[in-house]
Structure 1
Amino acid sequence: MSLKRLEGINKSPVLNHLSSSYQGLATIRSFNSQKILIEEFDNHQDVHSSVWSMFIRTSVTYDFWLDNLCSIYACIVTMSLLIFVRNDEIVESSIGLVTTQIVGLIGFLAFTMQQITELGNQMTSVERVYEYTNLESESPLNSLTDKKPEEKWPENGKIQFKNVYMSYDPSEAPVLKNLNFSIDGNEKIGIVGRTGAGKSSLISALFRLAYLEGEIKIDEIETKQIGLHDLRTKISIIPQEPFLIAGVLRKNLDPFDLYEDHVLRSALDDVELKEMDLQTYINERGNNLSVGQRQLVCLARAIIKNNKILILDEATANVDSKTDELIQKTIRKKFTDCTVVTIAHRLNTVMDSDKILVMDAGRVVEFDRPQVLLQNSHGAFTNMINQTGETMANSLRNLARDKHMDFN
């Protein structure tokens, strides 16, 4: 049973590697990395094959010794009848009957033992599934009657973080540490910082995807006090990796059939995808669309939902500059009266934000208007601007100055 469990554990890397390689086949070929991927696959397969070979050998050995023991027992009983029983006490036909019954009983016993052993081996699959039943469940999807927010909530889109700590595992150190800041309704906020600074973790905290301490309020309602469905349906997000399901385009735009077709077509027109029909079939993960088209479909989905809060998690990191410009222009046009929180991959995408939130090691380092932050020559945001090069830094400063003039 232990070998079967070990075999199941070592099979997963083989299947995962095969699936990932298939999904990224174009990238692998473009970088001429076939040899590296083949070597990785061979390593995973060698480990699995060695465990599987050991399992087969132990199974054959078990069957071999079980058959031998049964044969020895049959021989002992038969010889006992011939040696210790006198001829006048039992006839030859009875000896034959006893011998045949013993052989049949031994065969049934051997078969039973083999099935019990196989059952134990296959129960390792049940054991692995059972492990998921012991995982800690999320909070209830729906709010209690007395705590359910109104249908029009949130009206302003104000977000408040108060003494917020977040960790992905209760036994590990928090990745977000003592966050205290407030985002007013309709503000456009850019979040910047190095890789691992906690930018995406902040979004996870907002959606309650991990263990939280402290308070996160949206329009004065604490998110812990309402159901996950009531919370998450009121916040739109355009992720870095677009999420699409296999099915027609209409199902991707409106999975629950809440809107009329003309609303969906209007959203496609806003993102310049009006040539796509609502019945166009989308492959799993949108593999028959370009990365830019997938991201635009996600943007259209957010336009249709028209929530008061929009999250952009490095939404333009994997698209070309033209698509980036289209997305930024559409967001400025369609989400003027919404709170927009943008995790920045390119600083130029957030320089026209109302405020910039700079994070480092899970903490808020700076939070103010871009022009105000740039006045601190030794500030974290100023250092990030300077690292882009002189030409780009001057361009970014001009964007911040123009935003400051508009603000005044």
Structure 2
Amino acid sequence: MAANLVLVAYKTLCMSYIALVVLALASAGVVYYQTKARSRVLPAIQRCRRRIQVDMEGTMHGLFSGSRVVRIYGAYDAFEDKLRKLDDWQQAVGALANAVLFTKFLWQHIVSMALTLGLVGAMLVTDVGIWQLTPVSVQLYYEIASKLMSLLTQLANIQVNAINHALVLQELCDLGSMVPEAPWHAAKIKTKWQQQQQASGERVLPSQGRILFANCSLRYKQGDKLALANVTLSIHAGERVGIVGRTGSGKSSLLYALLRIVELESGAISIDSMNISKAGLHDLRQSISVVPQTSTAALLEGTLRNNIDPFGQYADVEITAAIEACQLGGLGADKWIESGGRNLSAGQQQLVSICRAVLRRKKILVLDEATANVDEHTEQVIGAVIEREFKQSTVLIIAHRLEATASCNRILVMDGGRLVEQGPPAVLAARSGSHYARLLRAQNKA
């Protein structure tokens, strides 16, 4: 291709010097129209298409994973409307992409033809007084110009491919330059916790369960607003604390910060006077028991014993005692559980997660909407187990339903990522203008 380009340029310059100017203009025009349409419009369309595809996959996953709740509440219409809108958007974006490609293809040939005719015209005008024009010379000029346009188009395609490969390389470099996750183990902190463990004679780490948030700010992505904004609070050892607020208020963000799923932007969190940023992730997360809203993803195919003690760290006597404490004795330790707990009810799935927490007996227990998808009887069982088995533990209860926090010693009310109110539930409910009282009134109206 390079040899052909040199040969064509040489023949062109030999025939006409003015063609050099036209050649430069033609090159600039072809390269511009070949690259701009791809480098700006098409990538934007592809990003929009990927975003719609991700939304559609997330909606389908929510529909399938929560099929029981969807059937109970008859919420198929909401999912159907959302999927129909996403499908319409996907078809519209696909049609737009096809229209852009067709317009680009048509415009490319129009521009190439115009530049080719312009180049031939320039050669003919400059050669009128030099050579006698013949059909053969005109054909020769046109073939040279057409070949030149084809070569320029190929060069533009090479440039576009090089840009695409450079973008892929840039994404790989960005992924490679991401801040790595903290190490799983930190010898100094682990040794300190082990010293406390030996002094207290307990298996669990830490030994007390005091939690301190000091001016903590958290942001999920650069450019997003703060999910936590200068949150400062102290939770005493053995205290039962309810965390409430509207959707997006920052309740779950406190849990993500405590487990270091998302690192703090500023501030510090301490457990038993030890800064958790200096602890290994595995050491930190092993010291906290978490019961999520749904336990489907955490239930593996195997026996009940293997599900509550997957690493074989506890004796059969302890496992049996934990099962009995959670009223799962009817299943038995050798009960076979299918993947995702398909052969268990929603209440039994949640009780398995509670059973894990009872078996581990950590000093910090977090319930993240643990009773949101269970019946009233199972909710009472879970409440009784927490009251009986975790008297000496610090319990954090994240809840939308305020009834789940009625037995808490203290309520933390979150709003916009800030701690706007705290105190005993009875005291906060008695204040008509408090945030907690407004949440109660809104819930009663609903």
- Measure how far apart 1:228 and its partner are: 0.9
Give the structure 2 partner of residue 185 of structure 1. 237
When the two structures are superposed, what TM-score results if normalisation uses the length of structure 2? 0.63
* Helix, strand or coil at the partner of 1:229: helix
Q: Residues of 2 paired with 1:304 and 1:147: CA distance?
A: 22
- Measure how far apart 1:299 and its partner are: 0.4
Contact 2:214 2:268 in 1 (8 A): yes
Give the structure 1 partner of residue 214 of structure 2. 162
- Measure how far apart 1:184 and its partner are: 0.9
- The structure 2 residue matched to 1:139, chosen from 179, 182, 186, is 182
Give the structure 1 partner of residue 285 of structure 2. 232
Give the structure 2 partner of residue 221 of structure 1. 274
Give the structure 2 partner of residue 100 of structure 1. none
Taking the TM superposition and a 5 Å limit, the aligned residue runs for 1:70-81 are none
Q: Deviations over 1:189-245 (max 9, x none)?
A: 111222221111111111112231112111111111111111110001111122424
* Helix, strand or coil at the partner of 2:216: strand
For structure 1, list consecutive stretches of 5 or more residues without a partner in the other structure.
Answer: 58-117, 393-408
- The structure 2 residue matched to 1:381, chosen from 418, 433, 436, is 436
**CA distance 1:348–1:281, change in 2 (3 Å):** closer
Give the structure 2 partner of residue 247 of structure 1. 301
**CA distance 1:372–1:289, change in 2 (3 Å):** same
Give the structure 2 partner of residue 288 of structure 1. 343
* Structure (1 or 2) with the greater helix fraction: 2
Give the structure 1 partner of residue 364 of structure 2. 309
Q: Residues of 1 paired with 2:60 and 2:399: CA distance?
A: 32
Give the structure 2 partner of residue 268 of structure 1. 323
- Measure how far apart 1:373 and its partner are: 2.9
Q: Residues of 2 paired with 1:368 and 1:257: CA distance?
A: 41
**CA distance 1:228–1:149, change in 2 (3 Å):** farther
- Measure how far apart 1:47 and its partner are: 7.0
Give the structure 2 partner of residue 39 of structure 1. 84
**CA distance 1:311–1:43, change in 2 (3 Å):** same
Q: Residues of 2 paired with 1:130 and 1:292: CA distance?
A: 46
**CA distance 1:282–1:40, change in 2 (3 Å):** farther
Pairwise CA RMSD of aligned residues?
3.9
- Measure how far apart 1:260 and its partner are: 2.2
1:362 aligns to 2:407 (yes or no)? no
- The structure 2 residue matched to 1:349, chosen from 395, 404, 411, is 404
Give the structure 2 partner of residue 109 of structure 1. none
* Helix, strand or coil at the partner of 2:192: coil
- Which letter maps to 1:244? A
Give the structure 1 partner of residue 193 of structure 2. 150
Percent of aligned pairs sharing the same letter: 33
Give the structure 1 partner of residue 28 of structure 2. none
Give the structure 2 partner of residue 328 of structure 1. 383
When the two structures are superposed, what TM-score results if normalisation uses the length of structure 1? 0.69
Q: Residues of 2 paired with 1:246 and 1:325: CA distance?
A: 26
Q: Residues of 1 paired with 2:414 and 2:422: CA distance?
A: 9
Give the structure 2 partner of residue 108 of structure 1. none
* Helix, strand or coil at the partner of 1:341: strand
Q: Deviations over 1:248-293 (max 9, x none)?
A: 1333212222112332222121111122243513313x33322211
Contact 2:189 2:279 in 1 (8 A): no
Contact 1:149 1:226 in 2 (8 A): no
* Helix, strand or coil at the partner of 2:314: coil
For structure 2, list consecutive stretches of 5 or more residues without a partner in the other structure.
Answer: 1-37, 103-160, 198-204
- Which letter maps to 1:228? L
- Measure how far apart 1:20 and its partner are: 4.4
* Helix, strand or coil at the partner of 1:322: helix
- Measure how far apart 1:318 and its partner are: 1.4
Q: Residues of 1 paired with 2:55 and 2:210: CA distance?
A: 44
Q: Residues of 1 paired with 2:280 and 2:434: CA distance?
A: 40
- Which letter maps to 1:236? S
**CA distance 1:16–1:173, change in 2 (3 Å):** closer
Contact 2:337 2:344 in 1 (8 A): no
1:197 aligns to 2:274 (yes or no)? no
Give the structure 2 partner of residue 88 of structure 1. none
Q: Deviations over 1:72-92 (max 9, x none)?
A: xxxxxxxxxxxxxxxxxxxxx
Q: Residues of 1 paired with 2:367 and 2:402: CA distance?
A: 14
Matched residues, number = 335
**CA distance 1:42–1:259, change in 2 (3 Å):** same
**CA distance 1:32–1:180, change in 2 (3 Å):** closer
Q: Residues of 2 paired with 1:373 and 1:18: CA distance?
A: 40
**CA distance 1:166–1:13, change in 2 (3 Å):** closer
